[in-house]
């Protein structure tokens, strides 16, 4: 069990509307990611689901039951925060089993649940250590293990990888994806990192200023963005936006992803000058200043040499272009 439904959920702080009528259904066993820029309301919405914030309006339903007035501890949810929030004087085993101990679960059952979680997270050899003896990645895995032992209906993750370095973020991201496959549990995950969203989610919820802009699978959002906001937010490097009129095309704005621009010897649709080059080994990112369009990014696979201030010519793969109207909504 663990199906979640939000019906017209709102949240107001004073005179400020933070969440503006969110409707959403998360299926049992689904990995759903809330993504959006800072201040879009994603963490507030997660806290409303957890019961740490009261909704100003609307309904929160868990397995069909309205839980607006149910205390957080009784919602059968487990939350993993950005901070590990481990007790420094307790061992890994005791940190993971504390909630069960407080609930009066037997020692044998606590050990069984803790050993199971430790095995899933490769923490078996660390059970007798204290948090100070662990790396950041290990501490975050302990925090996740603490959630697992409770066997909740719903896992809630609030930017759990933000405090980790790049290599640990990738490793822990893989751990979380594997954990979801092994548990088959419903998970809701908040991040501002669209790469995390793309690699983890069954479905992504894109939020802006307290509203849902679009919901869909990662590739649905990548290939069929509803508007310029989603188009620009999903994808790294982000989509290029060109002035349609300058290219003799209908529509206000043309969107084209960096991999769908081609640098040609001469006579291309767009002329520009190389502003910066990033050589990443497997791919090369070339940034060009192209008037009147501004700075455009071209993604080339493999190693390529370009000099700064070198002139260049670009062609667009028009079969992969998006056209947007004045209101930012997609035309085609």
**DSSP code string of 207-221:** EETTEEEEEE-HHHH
Strand, coil or helix: 31: strand
Q: How far is it, in rounded angstroms, from Cα 332 to Cα 326? A: 13
Phi, psi of 180 (to 5 degrees): -60, -40
Is 190 in the same domain as 42?
A: yes
**Measured distance between the N- and C-terminal CA atoms of the chain, rounded to whole angstroms:** 39
Q: How far is it, in rounded angstroms, from Cα 44 to Cα 11? A: 8
Q: How far is it, in rounded angstroms, from Cα 96 to Cα 145? A: 6
Report if residue 266 sits inside a domain: yes
Q: How far is it, in rounded angstroms, from Cα 245 to Cα 326? A: 12
Return the structure tokens found at 258: 């960096």
For residue 303, count other CB atoms closer than 10 A to its CB. Answer: 11
The parent domain of residue 301 ranges over: 238-324
Report if residue 332 sits inside a domain: no
What pLDDT sits at residue 89? 94
Is 130 in the same domain as 214?
A: yes
What pLDDT sits at residue 203? 97
For residue 100, count other CB atoms closer than 10 A to its CB. Answer: 20
What pLDDT sits at residue 22? 97
What pLDDT sits at residue 132? 93
Q: How many CA atoms lie within 13 A of 97 on its CB side?
A: 22
Is 125 in the same domain as 264?
A: no
Report if residue 136 sits inside a domain: yes
Is 165 in the same domain as 261?
A: no
**Burial state string for 182-209 with b = 16 or more CB within 10 A and e = fewer than 16:** eeebbbbbbbbbbebbbebbebbbbbbe
Report the DSSP beta bridge partners of residue 314.
263, 270
Is 129 in the same domain as 174?
A: yes
Report if residue 85 sits inside a domain: yes
Is 101 in the same domain as 52?
A: yes
Is 65 in the same domain as 118?
A: yes
For residue 247, count other CB atoms closer than 10 A to its CB. Answer: 15
Q: Give the residue from 162, 195, 230 where a domain finishes.
A: 230
Is 137 in the same domain as 170?
A: yes
Is 157 in the same domain as 254?
A: no
Which segments in the chain show pLDDT lower than 50? none
Element (H, E) at 54: none
What CATH code is carried by the domain that includes residue 32?
Answer: 3.40.50.300
Q: Give the residue from 197, 230, 263 where a domain finishes.
A: 230
Report if residue 329 sits inside a domain: no
The count of structural domains within the chain is 2
Q: Give the residue from 191, 210, 230 where a domain finishes.
A: 230
Report the DSSP beta bridge partners of residue 253.
243, 324
Please choose, from the candidates 170, 258, 193, 228, the residue with its C-alpha nearest in 3D space to the C-alpha of residue 36: 193
- How much is the pTM? 0.90
Please choose, from the candidates 188, 177, 148, the residue with its C-alpha nearest in 3D space to the C-alpha of residue 6: 188
Please choose, from the candidates 144, 196, 229, the residue with its C-alpha nearest in 3D space to the C-alpha of residue 32: 196
Is 150 in the same domain as 217?
A: yes
User: Following DSSP, what letter does each residue of 240-281 receive, concatenated?
Assistant: EEEETGGGT-SSSEEEE-GGGEEEESS--SEEEEEEEEEE-S
Q: How far is it, in rounded angstroms, from Cα 101 to Cα 94? A: 9
Element (H, E) at 181: helix 166-183
CA 46 to each of CA 1, 38, 191, 258: distance values in angstroms, whole numbers, following the listed order:
19, 14, 11, 33
Is 12 in the same domain as 120?
A: yes
């Amino acid at each position: 069990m663990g199906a979640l439904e939000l019906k017209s959920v709102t949240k107001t702080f004073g005179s400020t509307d933070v969440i503006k009528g969110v409707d959403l259904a998360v299926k049992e066993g689904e990995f759903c990611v809330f993504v959006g820029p800072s201040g879009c309301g994603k963490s507030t919405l997660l806290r409303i689901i957890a019961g740490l914030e009261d909704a100003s309006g609307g309904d929160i339903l868990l397995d069909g039951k309205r839980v607006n007035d149910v205390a957080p501890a009784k919602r059968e949810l487990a939350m993993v925060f950005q901070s590990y929030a481990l007790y420094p004087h307790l061992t890994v085993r005791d940190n993971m089993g504390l909630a069960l101990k407080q609930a009066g679960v037997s020692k044998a059952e606590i050990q069984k649940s803790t050993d199971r979680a430790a095995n899933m997270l490769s923490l078996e050899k660390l059970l007798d250590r204290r948090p100070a003896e662990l790396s950041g990645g290990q501490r975050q895995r302990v925090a996740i293990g603490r959630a697992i032992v409770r066997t909740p209906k719903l896992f809630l993750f609030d930017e759990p990888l933000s405090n980790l370095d790049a290599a640990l973020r990738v490793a822990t991201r893989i751990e979380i994806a594997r954990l979801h496959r092994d548990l088959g549990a419903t998970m809701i995950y908040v991040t501002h990192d669209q790469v995390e969203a793309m690699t983890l989610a069954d479905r992504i919820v894109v939020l802006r200023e307290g509203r849902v802009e679009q919901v869909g699978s990662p590739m649905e959002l990548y290939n069929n963005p509803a508007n310029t906001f989603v188009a620009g937010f999903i994808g790294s490097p982000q989509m290029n936006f060109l002035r349609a009129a300058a290219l003799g095309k209908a529509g206000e704005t043309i969107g084209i992803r960096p991999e769908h621009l081609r640098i040609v010897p001469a006579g291309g649709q767009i002329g520009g000058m190389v502003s910066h080059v990033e050589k990443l080994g497997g791919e090369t990112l070339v940034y060009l200043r192209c008037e009147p369009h501004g700075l455009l990014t071209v993604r080339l696979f493999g190693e390529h040499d370009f000099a700064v201030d070198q002139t260049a010519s670009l062609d667009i793969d028009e079969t992969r272009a998006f056209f947007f109207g004045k209101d930012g909504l997609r035309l085609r």
